Amino acid sequence: MFLDRGQPTTMADFRRLYESTFPILFRVSLRIAGSEEAAEDLCQEAFFRLHEKGMMFPNAEEAKYWLIRVVKNGSLNYAKRKERERKAYQRAFREDHRVQETGESVLLKQETSREVQEALDRLPENLRTVLILKEYGELNYKEIGRALGISEGNVKVRVFRARERLAAMMGKDGTHVS
């Protein structure tokens, strides 16, 4: 990987980028892919690609946005593949599509959080991704815009619409308690 006018990065630079970016990538990937193992693999793959391809970036921030984009796309693909797989198995076993509830989910707090998670999953991808980067990646609007290649104004609108829809869904599901 190269930063700043073609100067090769040192191992220390790479480590710094890794330490500051890994938590963001892992949280975002975990939320989208829904599996710690998958999130770990996806993050590793992104860093490895960065290194292997000799990517050039003007600065460490741009490298971070590239990593976020790669992990986000990889995680979305993983989630779609898993969903297709799940549906295929369900058809094969002629199962009801409702997820089996565990004993733990009787707790109200967990119930609410599960329903919000499901509501988030029902959002269209363009709204969902922006909100995930906001809430799990803890990035600001500008950073989200850079990572996704959209304008800051577009990020504002999408975060707002995503929140409005979640709030509406929570209200409709009866999980919203004032």
Partner 1 sequence: MCPDRQLVSMYIDGEVPSPWKEKLEAHLASCPSCASRADEFRRVSAILRGTASEAAPAAMENARARVWKNLVVRTPPPRRVSNWSRPLVLPIPAAIAAVLVVAVVAAGSAGIAMNPNAKSVPAVAIQQVETPAIPVSDMGSVLHYLDSQDSGGNIVIIHLPENSNFAFGGEPTIVRAADYTGRVTR
Binding span for partner 1 by CB under 8 A among 48-56, 65-73, 79-87, 121-129:
48-56
Unique residue bearing structure tokens 């073609």: 6
Q: Which two tokens stand for residue 62?
A: 């741009």
Size of interface with partner 1, in residues (CB under 8 A): 48
Q: Which two tokens stand for residue 176?
A: 């919203």
Q: Which of 20, 77, 113, 126 binds partner 1 (CB under 8 A)?
A: 113
27 touching partner 1, by CB under 8 A: yes
Q: Which of 4, 16, 20, 48 binds partner 1 (CB under 8 A)?
A: 48
Q: From the CB of residue 35, how many other CB atoms can be counted at a distance below 10 Å? A: 16
Q: Which of 47, 57, 65, 66 binds partner 1 (CB under 8 A)?
A: 47
Closest CB 149 distance from partner 1, rounded Å: 19
CB-CB contact of 72 with 147 (8 Å): yes
Measured distance CA(33)–CA(171) in Å, rounded = 26
What residues contact residue 161 under an 8 Å CB cut-off, 6+ apart? 127
Helix (H) or strand (E) holding 104: none
128 touching partner 1, by CB under 8 A: no
164 touching partner 1, by CB under 8 A: yes
3-class SS at 85?
helix
Measured distance CA(39)–CA(159) in Å, rounded = 23
CB-CB contact of 64 with 21 (8 Å): yes
23 touching partner 1, by CB under 8 A: yes
Closest CB 15 distance from partner 1, rounded Å: 8
Chain residues that interact with partner 1, rule: CB under 8 A: 1, 6, 8-11, 14-15, 18-19, 22-23, 26-27, 30-31, 36, 39-40, 43-44, 47-48, 51-52, 54, 112-113, 116-117, 120, 131, 134-136, 140-141, 156-157, 159-160, 163-164, 166-167, 170, 176, 178
